[in-house]
A and B are shown apart, each in its own frame.
Chain A
């Protein structure tokens, strides 16, 4: 069974703080993704990575950066959190691009 884990289920941060969201997958997948889910907007891709140290911008990368130092780990960084980044953040991994993606449980981030 593919397992994707995220470091926190719930997180509360203050405006201006630097926030790290961690994601780990155990299936040796090449590709990893970060999405945010907001009501009425579905899942929107923030960044993805198709290999270690490689990253590509998704549809809404502004205000975010990512790091992939090891194949199994993909981190999302909010350099200076803002209230409009309050959202559900979902990490996913897949064997090939365009294939079925396996999702983690999500991190509900609230920025006050």
Chain B
């Protein structure tokens, strides 16, 4: 049973426009959410996170939105740049287990 789902395997966006990556989860015990970015042949790198007590967190061009009632989070990248082209993973954890559960990943391509 996939507790964290990224239903779009890929996304293509023009440089300068907004990229929106989506993630859904099923476990209401999740209280911390993270986004990671992964380039080919490299390990994932942490991008941004949000606690369940917030509904938005912003860091430069990256903003994460959390909608707890819909069990949905999204990552907005504005403006998108070609260097943002990578695989993006969302992850969730609950304070009782502490383990991160990852989604399947979304491959973002930003075209010049």
Contact = CB atoms under 8 A, between A and B. Distances in A.
A21 interface: no
Contacts of A100: 34, 46, 49
A90 B105 contact: no
Nearest to B6: A42
Q: How large is the interface on B (under 10, 10 to 19, 20 to 34, 35 or more residues)?
A: 20 to 34
Contacts of A41: 104
Interface residues of A, number: 25
Interface string A91-112: 0100011101111111010000
B41 to A, nearest CB: 7
Given A42-B89, A105-B43, A97 B102 contact: no
Q: Is the interface of B mostly helix, strand, loop or mixed?
A: loop
Contacts of A43: 44, 89, 91, 102
Contacts of B44: 43, 90, 103
Interface in B60-112: 89, 91, 93-95, 97-100, 102-105
Interface of B: 4, 6, 9, 32, 34, 36, 41-46, 49, 89, 91, 93-95, 97-100, 102-105
Interface of A: 4, 9, 31, 35, 40-45, 48, 58, 90, 92, 96-98, 100-106, 108
18 contacts: A40-B9, A42-B4, A42-B89, A42-B103, A42-B104, A48-B99, A90-B43, A97-B97, A97-B99, A98-B95, A98-B97, A100-B34, A101-B46, A101-B100, A102-B46, A103-B44, A106-B42, A108-B41
